């Protein structure tokens, strides 16, 4: 399945920074009209001023179901071809050291918002028999567990599983709608700052992640894992028990927790 984004309308959540803003730049380069969604309006307006394509800015807190629904209601009838779900965050540290409110907020944004937006956008596109949805998961979602980034790993496992299952269902239905999961490893974004931890010694840039992702989306790739090192690491876990893999991951994550 080939996907052509040229000149189409693309909705991007989490568009104010990191991978989301880089997707905005990548699709602007293809002459797309953009609908950018995030909480920080000032950053989106600054970005829109750089892109040179029509941009609509929607300020929303997607951890709230009613605001997810409002976004869909706003874009309905605008002919949006693609949805890129980038919004999300993580929290480093032992689970018991986080407030339950923070964790539930993460679940609401990383899982509920992705599910709601995916389903409702799919409803908008099914009659047309075309369209595209990319959900940004993480290589964390392809691993058994992530001590010291525990709830985040669990949310991304949901996104990866849900997205891959949906992609297969739509392929069986010959829907004509592309659905893919982007599962990067560490990326130089604001993620670590928000997660209250130390940056990885080596990570991919958002530019490399997005460039790779767009090329794979255009080819219809359903599971996208940027970075040869990350793909090699995931392959290596096949030879370890789930327990051993989780222990190794936990050791690495614990070293990044700020004192």
- Catalytic residue positions, numbered: 152
Question: Which residues fall within 8 angstroms of residue 136, CB to CB, at 6 or more apart?
Answer: 14, 19, 84, 85, 86, 88, 159, 182, 184
* Longest Cα separation, the chain: 53
**How many CB atoms sit inside 10 A of residue 235's CB?**
9
Q: Are strands 177-182 and 80-85 parallel, antiparallel or unpaired?
A: unpaired
CB 141 within 8 A of CB 183: yes
Question: Which residues fall within 8 angstroms of residue 86, CB to CB, at 6 or more apart?
Answer: 12, 13, 14, 15, 18, 19, 20, 23, 136
- Give the whole-angstrom CA distance, residue 83 versus residue 199: 29
Helix (H, G, I), strand (E, B) or coil at 59: strand
Between the CA of residue 52 and those of 18, 20, 21, what are the distances in Å? 19, 17, 14
- Give the whole-angstrom CA distance, residue 23 versus residue 207: 8
Scored b (16 or more CB within 10 A) or e, 194-216 reads ebebeeeeebbebebbbebbbeb
């Amino acid at each position: 399945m080939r996907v052509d984004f040229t000149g189409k309308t693309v909705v991007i959540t989490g568009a104010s920074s990191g991978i989301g803003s880089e997707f905005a730049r990548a699709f602007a380069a293809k002459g797309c009209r953009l609908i950018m969604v995030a909480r920080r309006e000032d950053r989106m307006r600054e970005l829109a001023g750089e892109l040179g394509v029509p941009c609509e800015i929607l300020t929303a807190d997607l951890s709230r179901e009613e605001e997810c629904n409002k976004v869909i209601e706003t874009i309905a009838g605008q002919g949006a071809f693609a949805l890129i779900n980038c919004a999300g965050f993580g929290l480093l540290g032992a689970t018991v050291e986080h407030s339950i409110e923070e964790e539930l907020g993460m679940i609401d944004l990383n899982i509920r918002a992705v599910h709601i937006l995916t389903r409702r956008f799919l409803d908008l596109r099914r009659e047309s028999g075309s369209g595209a949805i990319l959900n940004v998961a993480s290589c964390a979602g392809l691993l058994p567990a992530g001590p010291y980034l525990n709830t985040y790993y669990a949310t991304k496992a949901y996104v990866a599983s849900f997205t891959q299952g949906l992609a297969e269902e739509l392929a069986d239905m010959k829907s004509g709608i592309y659905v893919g999961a982007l599962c990067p490893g560490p990326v130089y974004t604001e993620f670590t700052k928000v997660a209250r931890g130390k940056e990885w010694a080596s990570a991919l840039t958002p530019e490399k992640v997005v460039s790779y992702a767009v090329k794979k989306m255009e080819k219809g790739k359903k599971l996208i894992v940027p970075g040869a090192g990350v793909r090699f690491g995931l392959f290596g876990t096949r030879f370890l028990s789930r327990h051993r893999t989780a222990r190794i991951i936990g050791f690495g994550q614990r070293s990044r927790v700020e004192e």
